[in-house]
């Protein structure tokens, strides 16, 4: 796909999404310790890997069966990855010793949420945000994600599976007080244009 915006997308660590995409394309060879030991880079690589798989899946379909994707489709995904791998706010974790302070970054929880989406068949997560005061223990938090779903998966079922998986993962790996997980399906990818016979 042609990329119209050539502005480098730079992470806080100094690496760009383009550098990481090239590194991933080379199967992460030769090993780059400055990338492999950087949490932001690792989160971005994980997200880019999911995008790469989606691209391969789409190319596997007959081009005549697919609608033309929006011109800025890939740009939007890459821009979202850049923004979401940033550390963001610090989310406190419980610890039995009151003298110990543990936190996890908001960026790490967004990466976790995106990885959960990768595990749900037919789902690609677009954006993920935590609405509420994540820095205050017990504060009510709403999780909002956007997603693209493959045409062959029923939207209500896929959205429900994603919603449940996100809630379970965040409950297991954080102490956020999750009030709701809202999934908005923004589009379908690879949908079939061949008419199918309805069964009575």
Q: In what order do the strands lie in the sheet with 177-189?
A: 123-131, 140-150, 177-189
Integer CA distances (angstroms), 189 to 6, 69, 98, in order: 25, 8, 48
Q: Is residue 131 part of a domain?
A: yes
Q: Show the domain range for 97.
A: 17-189
CA distances, 57 to each of 87, 106, 189 (Å): 30, 30, 10
Q: What is the pLDDT of residue 84?
A: 58
Q: Note whether residue 29 is domain-resident.
A: yes
Q: How far apart are CA 85 and CA 107, in angstroms?
A: 5
Q: Is residue 53 part of a domain?
A: yes
Q: Does 199 map to a domain?
A: no
Residues 6+ apart with CB under 8 A from 6: none
Nearest-angstrom CA–CA distance, 112 and 193: 34
Q: How far apart are CA 62 and CA 121, in angstroms?
A: 20
Q: Say if 103 falls within a structural domain.
A: yes
- The full DSSP string for 95-118 is -SSTT--EEEEHHHHHHHHHHHHH
Number of domains in the chain: 1
Strand partners, 11: none
4 assigned to some structural domain: no
pLDDT in tens, 9-62: 788 888 888 888 888 888 888 899 998 898 888 878 877 776 655 554 544 444
Whether the predicted pLDDT of 191 surpasses 80: no
Q: What distances in angstroms separate CA 75 from CA 7, 44, 114, one per listed residue?
A: 10, 14, 17
179 found inside a domain: yes
Asked, for residue 77, whether it belongs to a domain, the answer is yes
- pTM equals 0.59
């Amino acid at each position: 796909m042609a990329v119209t915006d050539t502005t480098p997308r730079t992470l806080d660590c100094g690496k760009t999404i383009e550098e990481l995409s090239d590194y991933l394309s080379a199967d992460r060879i030769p090993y780059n310790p400055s990338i492999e030991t950087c949490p932001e880079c690792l989160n971005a690589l994980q997200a880019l890997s999911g995008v790469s798989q989606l691209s391969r899946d789409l190319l596997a379909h007959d081009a005549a069966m697919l609608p033309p994707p929006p011109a800025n489709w890939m740009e939007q995904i890459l821009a979202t990855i850049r923004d979401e791998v940033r550390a963001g706010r610090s989310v406190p974790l419980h610890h039995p010793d009151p003298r110990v302070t543990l936190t996890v970054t908001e960026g790490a929880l967004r990466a976790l949420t995106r990885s959960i989406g990768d595990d749900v068949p037919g789902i690609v997560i677009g954006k993920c945000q935590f609405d509420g005061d994540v820095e205050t223990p017990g504060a009510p938090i709403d999780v909002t994600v956007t997603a693209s779903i493959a045409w062959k998966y029923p939207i209500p079922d896929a959205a429900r599976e994603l919603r449940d998986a996100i809630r379970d993962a965040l409950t297991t790996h954080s102490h956020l007080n999750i009030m709701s997980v809202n999934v908005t399906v923004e589009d379908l990818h690879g949908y079939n244009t061949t008419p199918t016979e309805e069964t009575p």
